[in-house]
Structure 1
């Protein structure tokens, strides 16, 4: 565990209450097992903004994401854990397992966003921390190579929220769209 990460392995329910009280931001994750409907070990992820859960999902051993709710993760953690939950203060989508090669399936004529200016979140006066975090998550996924559809599939946010963040970044002239 890195020095910036917070150990939250005292139990997910207890840790979530503390994170909400202290309005923590970040990515809470753990390797978990015995999740109903998912075979084998998997990873649970919760994105927190000011202590509130904005997305919650499970990633199976093949790297597929399954949207879930915190209740299921809390129940699995209390019945089969506690698991080693850690909160990373700078949320980012989980890195793919380097041993698994996932083939890219490019879509012909699929638009590709590219950054053209750095995103300065301090300049966004009047924006909530949650809005800034959502913009930052989507901005960090843009590399000038992957398409909008691939960004939506990699984003921990709902596809509609990811699309809206892309529209905002485009209108702010932070990105361009390559066709």
Structure 2
């Protein structure tokens, strides 16, 4: 999109829906900064300057909303080994903060198919609980699998 009031250059507009109702509306500029806006502004810009391409995509739940997966809480010698089965596409995680994306990326990059969970937690710059949560999210997103 372009010519959005208060935003210079091209940008992307986002409407987040829950049960058909707008729960969040913002514009993301070229640098990835988000600017809160009103849905009426986006629809007006769309009708005056568009039509723009609208894409519907499911949102994976942010980390705190994901159900707990089976990841051991206590260190064990037979700690499972995570293996990647799909690429981590951070661009598809709309509505996630850059910090959440960074945490997922850090943990994803530590997964080599050989290193077990406890070793990953010890090598991660993140707190162990955050590393575990990132592993749960990656598991629930079907980006990794666990093997013993």
Higher share of residues assigned strand: 1
Greater gyration radius: 2
Scaled by the length of structure 2, what TM-score is found? 0.48
Scaled by the length of structure 1, what TM-score is found? 0.40
